[in-house]
Structure 1
Amino acid sequence: MASTEPGIEGLAHDPRYQRLVRRRGRLSWLLTALMLVTYLGFILLVAFAKPLLAQPIAGGATTLGIPLGLGVIAVAIALTGFYVRRANAEFDHDVDALAGEHRP
């Protein structure tokens, strides 16, 4: 049930707002963890598996490290895109609805 208090105090106590904050926080932490695991994995490969990263691809001048490094960048872009899409489709709608109800 929506709070009848106007303004920020009412919004802070609204269970829908608290649920939104929890959901958005969980998603943010999950995406952060995925990015950290990706980046840390790459850094660990750089630190401990240099010969693996130095292997040429298809006998050319490009080594395995180049596409893996680009993969880290691609993961960052994909996770950002996922968050933006989810925020635009779900979180922004909920924020707008709550803000409309709690304007003083």
Structure 2
Amino acid sequence: MDARSLEAIQRDPDYKELVRRRSSFGWTLSLIMLVIYFGFILLVAYAPKFLGMRLGTGVTTIGIPIGLFVIVSAFVLTAIYVSKANSKYDTLIRRIVEGA
């Protein structure tokens, strides 16, 4: 790609919109994941007895489903990003490439 094409793309309003949307959404999802993760870490640090409480009569504690939630939430947030990228961002990228 030559410098003129790159400059034309960077000036394109669709490109600026894509960068703004993707950045905003990415930071939002990152913040959600950080809150979930550090919330779990704070529970481990400050409420270990709560996490160690048994669920029912078995050996499963409250910490196990909460820990699984942390792991699953990472996959869910990734799936949300991929879904939005495939539906919204790809359309903007096609318009940018066709206009360049």
TM-score range, shorter chain: over 0.9
The amino acid that maps onto 1:11 is I
Give the one of 4, 17, 20 matched to 2:18.
20
- Provide TM-score, normalisation by structure 1: 0.90
Give the one of 39, 53, 56 matched to 1:55.
53
- Provide TM-score, normalisation by structure 2: 0.93
Work out the CA distance in 1 between the residues paired with 2:57 and 2:32.
32
Q: Give the total of aligned pairs.
A: 97
Work out the CA distance in 1 between the residues paired with 2:53 and 2:32.
26
Give the one of 5, 8, 19 matched to 2:6.
8
Cα deviations by residue, 1:24-67 (Å, 9 ceiling, x for unpaired): 00000000000000000000000000000000111210111010
After superposition, the CA RMSD in angstroms is 0.9
> 1:1-104 alignment to 2 at 5 Å?
7-102=5-100
Work out the CA distance in 2 between the residues paired with 1:28 and 1:53.
30
Structure with higher helix content: 2
Question: Where in structure 1 do 4 or more consecutive aligned residues deviate above 2 Å?
Answer: none
Gaps spanning 5+ residues in structure 2: where? Answer: none
The amino acid that maps onto 1:81 is A
- Deviation at residue 83 of structure 1 after TM alignment: 0.1
- Deviation at residue 93 of structure 1 after TM alignment: 1.6
Work out the CA distance in 2 between the residues paired with 1:46 and 1:86.
33
- Deviation at residue 13 of structure 1 after TM alignment: 0.5
